[in-house]
Amino acid sequence: MVDSLEFKSRISEAERVKRSRIILALDLADSPDLHGVALRTISSLEEHICALKINFHLILPLSRSELLQVNQLAHSYGLQSIADIKLNDIPSTNERAITHLSGMGFDAVTVNPFIGAEGLQDTVIRAHELRCGILALVYMSHKGARFGFGSTLLESNNRSMQLYRKFFQYSIDSQVDGIVVGANQIEILKEISCGANKIPIYSPGLGVQGGDVKRASDSGTDYFIIGRTIFESEDPIRVITGLRQILDD
């Protein structure tokens, strides 16, 4: 098995070199030149970020070769690339998905721990064999998260536990490379960060979804996933520079 810290080491090095903990969520709107827009956006912002987060906004419309070019460009700038597909299937399907994504140059994949402890463990093992990291969803940033991640389970011993706490335990046991907790879930962030066992916390939900960079940082977030707030602004460089200054204070 490849060292489970491999992806964590790579993104930590990118953070050190770029002096930034910001991950650009490349959730671009449809465009006749979507591939070109993606490449230009990366090139214009690369010195201010440590990684990209790419979801179905690009993974579905772009070809395999175009995605590979996007990731190769990211790597040429010393950035990491995360495939945000929230993987949640049987082990053989998860394995095939990670194999293909790794072949397209992705460095890590987001996974939903709803697949269970054994399923998550198998996924982590396969990913690490491919030098790929796994980020487990513990509590997402969207409004409906409380109906899923915040729901209560009744276990076999008749004790109750909220689902996100179960997912967090799965993540620790499986030695994932990071966990995802929404930046707008401040109390959850504080709770999780106290017992994170040095698992880095990645937080989306900043800006448009109401999360505050400073509050999230103070509550335990390690990496900040930000997209539309930056690239939909009139002056993306000014916005991202301001965010970096807040995090440096």
Q: Taking a C-beta distance cutoff of 8 angstroms, is the pair 125, 155 a contact?
A: no
Read off the pLDDT of residues 105-148 as tens digits, 9 standing for 90 and up: 999 999 999 999 999 999 999 999 999 999 999 987 666 556 55
| Domain assignment of residue 35, yes or no | yes
Where does the pLDDT of residue 190 fall: very low under 50, low under 70, confident under 90, or very high at 90 and above? very high
| Domain assignment of residue 1, yes or no | no
Read off the pLDDT of residues 11-48 as tens digits, 9 standing for 90 and up: 999 999 999 999 999 999 899 999 999 999 999 999 99
What's the CATH number where 114 sits? 3.20.20.70
Q: Taking a C-beta distance cutoff of 8 angstroms, is the pair 238, 206 a contact?
A: no
| Domain assignment of residue 232, yes or no | yes
Dist. CA 68–CA 104, nearest whole Å:
5
Percent of the chain with pLDDT over 90: 73
Owning domain of residue 227: 6-248
| Domain assignment of residue 11, yes or no | yes
Out of 1-15, 60-74, 131-145, 228-242, least confident range: 1-15
What's the domain count of the chain? 1
- Provide the whole-model pTM: 0.91
- In Å, how far are 60, 62, 82, 182 from 56, measured between CA atoms? 5, 9, 12, 19
- Summary mean pLDDT of the chain: 89
| Domain assignment of residue 51, yes or no | yes
| Domain assignment of residue 212, yes or no | yes
| Domain assignment of residue 219, yes or no | yes
b/e per residue 24-57 (b: at least 16 CB within 10 A): bbbbbeeeeebbebbbebbeebbebbbbbbbbeb
Helix (H) or strand (E) holding 25: strand 22-25
| Domain assignment of residue 94, yes or no | yes
pLDDT of residue 3: 39
Dist. CA 1–CA 173, nearest whole Å:
16
